[in-house]
Amino acid sequence: MSKLLRFFLGIILVSAVLFYALSELNSSQGYSGKNTLTIYNWGDYIDTDLIKRFEKETGIKVIYETFDSNEAMLTKIQQGGTTYDIAVPSEYMIDKMRKEHLLIPLDHSKLPNLKNIDPRFMDLPFDEGNKYSVPYFWGTVGIVYNPKMLNGKKITSWNDLWDPDLRNKILLVDGAREIMGMGLNSLGYSLNDTNHAHLQEAKRKLDTLTPNIKAIVGDEIRLLLQNEEASIGIVWSGVASEIMSENEDLEYVVPKEGSNLWFDNMVIPKTAKNKEAALKFMNFMLDPKVAAQNAEYVNYSTPNKKALAYMPKETVNDERFYPSPKLTEKLEVYENLGKKNLAYYNELFLEFKMHRK
């Protein structure tokens, strides 16, 4: 018995020594909690030169991790294995995280650059008073298409996609809210509709689009459209802007029936270990010149009104990516539908994907 006890005590002692040594090593390399900032963001969603600049200016070491969906981000934060100081969820997820008490209220006195944000992107229903979030990027969901490959055909409507001449020409993003929303909008319904009869009607209509669908894809949609392996794609505006810069034959349109107006905002999760560094980083990213540089790198629309002065005029005057308030008023922001409704959206979307096979 005494041998077994000594064995376990030995393991505990070795573990303690290793933990201390690792802590000392991390501290010597600039990884201690006080001067480390851990960020959780979408992939390829920041100019990494700005991270280096922030580190140089503040002495704070940035650890940067990425996610590929709001749901994956939420799960990891709920589990609490890794403590993130900043995350960048979308609007409906911010609402959900706020209601689940997963966010820390922001000290606006430490965010003087918040004044640079366009007022129309502040105080929105998912976070009234911006108590928990700071605007990062915004955009729309729409249709990117290649008129040259369509014999000059113009697309202005979701319903244009059901044209029999478009057989095997359309790429869809692999997103339940985006594609179910397209079906709902094409029928004149809200993309936040929770009426099961309306959702089933939208799913049946999507089933009839199957002959025109070439594939349902993820990030590869960029290269497929850019390289003209498909002539039409349902994408986010930033993706459209990126691929259009590589292929001048492409066009982007927000369908006349309506679409999604989305926002990605910076938040501080409740488990954050370095709130002060998080606020410093937020304020840094709200600087007009920094925001302009970041927007030009990422190719999404910045909500920073002051930043527009430092960006090319042809970019900020392009209403496809910086639509007027008159147009954005017609668009809808995703609402937090709740677990049951979201599960039903996902179920119908999965059925739709299985129908194609």
Supply the pLDDT for residue 23: 46
Query: In this predicted structure, what is the pLDDT of residue 11?
Result: 64
Angle at 109 between CA 108 and CA 115, to 5 degrees: 65
Work out the number of other CB atoms within 10 angstroms of the CB of residue 141: 27
* Strand, coil or helix: 216: strand
What is the structure's pLDDT at 38? 97
Alpha-carbon gap, residue 257 to 137, rounded angstroms: 24
28 HSE (CA, 13 A, CB side): 6
Residues in the chain: 357
Show Cβ contacts of residue 159 under 8 Å, excluding neighbours closer than 6 positions: 186, 257
CA distance 208 to 217: 19
Chain-centroid distance, C-alpha 138: 9
Q: Give the pLDDT of residue 6.
A: 62
Gyration radius of the chain's alpha carbons? 23
Closest CA to 139 of 335, 337, 333, 342: 333
Specify the pLDDT at position 29: 37
Digit-coded pLDDT (tens) for 106-160: 999 999 999 999 999 999 999 999 999 999 999 999 999 999 999 999 999 999 9
As a whole number of angstroms, the distance between CA 322 and CA 98 comes to: 28
Of 234, 241, 243, 226, whose CA–CA distance to 321 is shortest? 241
Determine contact, residues 174/126, Cβ cutoff 8 Å: no
136 is in an annotated binding site: no
Full pLDDT tens readout for the chain, 357 residues: 455 556 555 566 655 545 444 444 443 333 445 789 999 999 999 999 999 999 999 999 999 999 988 989 999 999 987 899 999 999 999 999 999 999 999 999 999 999 999 999 999 999 999 999 999 999 999 999 999 999 999 999 999 999 999 999 999 999 899 999 999 999 999 999 999 999 999 999 999 999 999 999 988 999 999 999 999 999 999 999 999 989 999 999 999 999 999 999 999 999 999 999 999 999 999 999 999 999 999 999 999 999 999 999 999 999 999 998 888 888 999 998 988 999 999 999 999 999 876
Nearest residue to 265 via CA among 45, 77, 52: 45
Q: How far apart (Å, rounded) are the C-alpha atoms in residues 354 and 357?
A: 5
User: How far is residue 103 from each of residues 14, 114, 124, 266, measured CA to CA in Å?
Assistant: 37, 18, 17, 11
Q: Looking only at Cα atoms, what is the longest distance across the chain?
A: 86
Structure tokens at 71: 């749901």
**Alpha-carbon span 262 to 331, nearest angstrom:** 9
Q: How far apart are the first and last CA of the chain?
A: 63
The two structure tokens encoding residue 291:
């925001």
Cα separation, 58 vs 60, whole angstroms = 5
Tell me: the pLDDT tens digits for 321-349? Answer: 999 888 888 899 999 898 899 999 999 99
Q: Checking DSSP bridges between strand 133-145 and strand 251-253, what pairing results, if any?
A: antiparallel
Query: Per 3-state DSSP, what percentage of the chain is helix, strand, and coil (rounded to 5)?
Result: 50, 15, 30
Residue 105 to residue 130: CA distance in whole angstroms: 9
Q: What is the pTM of this model?
A: 0.83
In 10 A of CB 220, how many CB atoms?
A: 11
